Amino acid sequence: MGSLTKGPSLAPRACCAALALASFLAPVARAQEALHDLYAQELKPKPQEWVVIGHHFRHSDNCTSDGCVVMGPMDDREACEEWARDYNRHDPYDHTRCVEAKDYRTKAE
Amino acid sequence: MRKCSDKADKTDKARREAYLTSATRRSASRMILAAGASVFAPAIAQARPRLVVVGGGAAGATVAKYVAKDSPKIQVTLVEDSKAYTSCFFSNLYLAGLRTLASLTHRYDALAERYGVTLVTSRASAIDRDRKLVRLADGSAVAYDRLALSPGVSFDYDAVRGYTPSAAEQMPHAYQAGFQTFLLRRQIAAMRPGGVFVLAPPTSPYRCPPGPYERASMIAKYFKRRNPTAKIIILDAKDSFAKQPLFEEGWAASYPGMIEWRPASFSGGGLKEVDVKEMLLIDGEGERIRADAASVIPPQRAGDIALSADLTDSDGWAVVDGSQMRSRLDPNIFIVGDAARAGAMPKSGFAANSQARVAALAIRADLDGATLFPARFRNTCWSFIDNQNVVKVGANYAFRDGDIRVVDRFVSKVGEPPSVRFDNTLEANAWYGAIASDMLG
């Protein structure tokens, strides 16, 4: 350190600058890390997800006797319920509805 | 599921290690050592022709699968730096809360397990065309007899002053799906009530021409439910856009007063400068728009590796012979997907998948004596405007008079009955399942 700063008086200053930089960068790095952790979670199925099921898509693999997945999975229940409501306005006889994906998966299995 | 993935990771690693070891045993005389890089090749490299695919998107994954499936004699290696693929298509639905990001993310494992594709999880850093090597970021290299290059797009960060890769974390382009899409959704969700969202689409050509306008629709869908007084400004670099009358019809019906489109002639050519610290976007007339959140999509060109390998034209797109998707600059290389200048075809997931099938057959003809057929291509782009309002545009294409040309086309019509748009919704969802399975299933 001494040889780099060419004098004892500069060493504490360089050291302080390095510490200040480190204390500035540490929260930024932590925030980035937290963001990437959240992203990693986003790439995994969530504990609660919803799907719209109906009787279209009968050719799909994703069907049970209750119906087939028409839309989703979604993590926003309101979006799912709104989608099913809109769908039923077009085709009220299809009995399309929003169900929790977990329940649907259990039946499918 | 988790266990299965972990196991697959280990299998990949073990396979790659065995791969490296066998190549090492074959001694230096069989390996081309250049600039200190190790070259690995399968133990039977001399007996089996080698296809290396760089990039595991809609085009690259399809080439890898179809060559490996239909010509087991060919040793297929896929070089891709991610273990999973998140589709750019349908990612706007994630912004609206209509799909989870997990449901748009697909692992590559099936390519290895079902078809014997060797997965190399690494970034391809360069192509040595003279030695027929793909150099990897870790310093090693993979040798090929034919190379299928599917690098997607890269961004021209010089086009908008102040917009850099780090600025893209504040104003995400979200045109490479995954982390960028996640960032954009967070920023939309964090917007203050009644805030302003600015979307800046680029000049053509670019990936998925209707994509920015579908994005505006899906963000409006989200706002309508969660932030009904928010506003969306589209600061366009063009004076018209794909499926414009259909989008404008849908916006008027579903999101009246929420979306304002500003053409290039109104804004001095669109966005020219950003100040991410102040969240300012400045157009060509000098007008400063303060945004609460923004998505800036810069002009695009072929992925960097195609540029650095001198496989592109002066505009930065890869030049190919559309009868086979073979590079016009190197007969050992095929270029598929968004990076290619593919005649009349747009840059889309459907188009990439279609080009990949043509390239796969040509590669099999080169390396396995397969019979070539005249190239035929198809494309359809569905765009979600509202829950059951999906519009589409598409065409069939053939290679004629030296280029890929439209044979016939179709497009949704303004004023169609809701039942037609509703059927498009089902069709689009069915297509997503089909292409994901076709690429990676």
The widest CA-to-CA distance across chain B, in whole angstroms, is: 71
Which residue of A61, A76, A78 to mutate against B (max B Cβ within 10 Å)? A76
How many CA atoms within 13 Å lie on the side-chain side of A12? Answer: 2
pLDDT digits (tens, 9 = 90+) for B421-433: 988 988 998 899 9
Mutation for B interface: A75, A85, A94, A109, most B CBs within 10 A = A75
pLDDT at position B336: 98
Question: What does the mean pLDDT of chain B come to?
Answer: 91
Would you call A81 exposed, middle or buried from its count of C-beta atoms within 10 A (0-12, 13-18, 19+)? middle
By Cβ distance, the residue of A46, A57, A83 closest to B100 is A46
Contact indicator for B62, B357 with CB cutoff of 8 Å: yes
Record the tokens describing residue B217, joined without a space: 């629709």
User: What pLDDT is stored for residue B313 in this prediction?
Assistant: 97
Annotate B252-265 with b (16+ C-beta within 10 A) or e (fewer): eebbeebbebbbbe
Structure tokens at B367: 């390396």
**Could you give the CA distance from residue B378 to residue B342 in angstroms, rounded to a whole number?**
12
If you ran DSSP here, which 8-state letter would residue B83 be given? Answer: S
State the Rg of chain B over Cα. 22
Rounded to whole angstroms, the Cα distance separating B31 from B129 reads: 16
Task: At B289, list the tokens.
Answer: 């728009």
CB contacts of B433 in chain A (<8 Å) are: 60, 62
Locus of tokens 């073979």:
B326
Q: How confident is the model at residue B30 (pLDDT cuts 50, 70, 90)?
A: very low
Within chain A, what is the greatest distance between any pair of CA atoms? 86
Tokens of B76: 């297929």
How confident is the model at residue A109, as a pLDDT?
56
- Mutation pick from B91, B95, B107, B429 vs chain A, by most beta carbons of A within 10 Å, is B429
Contacts of B101 in chain A (CB under 8 A): 42-43
- Taking a contact as any Cβ pair under 8 Å apart, which residues of chain B between 90 and 119 contact chain A? 96-103, 105
Task: Report the gap between the CA of B224 and the closest CA in chain A (Å).
Answer: 11
Q: What is the pTM of this model?
A: 0.86
Q: pLDDT tens digits for B141-165?
A: 999 999 999 999 999 999 999 999 9
Choice among A86-100, B57-71, B400-414 with the minimum mean pLDDT: A86-100
Nearest to B348 by CA among B369, B320, B322, B379: B379
Q: Do residues B44 and B153 lie in contact, with contact meaning Cβ atoms separated by under 8 Å?
A: no
Read off the tokens for A23: 């204390």
Asked if the Cβ–Cβ distance from B102 to A90 is below 8 Å, we say no
Residue A8 has pLDDT above 80, yes or no: no
Q: Rounded to an integer, what distance in angstroms lies between the CA atom of residue B433 and that of residue B349?
A: 13
Whether residue A91 and residue B225 make contact (CB cut-off 8 A), yes or no, is: no
Those residues of chain A whose CB sits closer than 8 Å to some CB in chain B are 35-36, 38-39, 42-46, 49, 56-57, 60, 62, 70-76, 78-79, 82-83, 86-87, 90-91
Q: Which residues of A are less than 8 Å from B388 in CB distance?
A: 86-87, 90
Q: Do B97 and A87 touch (CB under 8 A)?
A: no
- Among the partner-chain residues A35, A49, A79, the one whose CB lies closest to the CB of B96 is A79
pLDDT in tens, B245-283: 999 999 999 999 999 999 999 999 999 999 999 999 999
Instruction: Give the strand pairing for B196-200 and B293-296.
Output: parallel
Residues A18-54: tens digit of each pLDDT:
777 777 778 788 988 999 999 999 999 999 999 998 8
pLDDT of residue B17: 39
Residue A76 with chain B: CB contacts under 8 Å: 97-98
The per-residue pLDDT for B9 is: 40
| Percent of chain B residues past pLDDT 70, beyond the cut | 90
Mean pLDDT of B54-70: 98
CA dihedral B346, B348, B353, B359 (to 10 degrees): 40
Task: Give the pLDDT band of residue A57 (cuts 50, 70, 90).
Answer: low
Is the CB of B429 less than 8 angstroms away from the CB of A78?
no
Give the strand pairing for A67-74 and A50-54: antiparallel
Tell me which chain A residues have a C-beta less than 8 angstroms from the C-beta of B419: 90
pLDDT at B33: 35
Instruction: Please write the tens of the pLDDT for every residue from B319-336.
Output: 999 999 999 999 999 999
Task: Tell me if A57 and B99 make a contact (CB, 8 A cut-off).
Answer: no
Q: Assess whether pLDDT exceeds 70 at residue A2.
A: no
Give mean pLDDT, residues B85-107. Answer: 97
Q: Give the pLDDT score at A58.
A: 58
CA distance A45 to chain B (A): 6
pLDDT at B22: 37
Q: Judge whether B426 is closer than 8 Å to chain A, CB to CB.
A: yes
Please give the pLDDT value at position A12: 64
How many angstroms separate the CA atoms of B174 and B184, rounded?
7
A60/B102 Cβ within 8 A? no
Which of A44, A57, A70 is facing B102, going by the closest CB pair?
A44
Chains A & B: contacts with CB separation below 8 Å: 72
Q: What does the DSSP assignment read for B204-249?
A: SS-SSTTHHHHHHHHHHHHHHHH-TT-EEEEE-SSS--TTHHHHHH
CB contacts of A70 in chain B (<8 Å) are 426, 429
Per-residue pLDDT at B2: 34
- Residue A68: per-residue pLDDT: 84
Tokens 């001494």 map to which residue?
A2
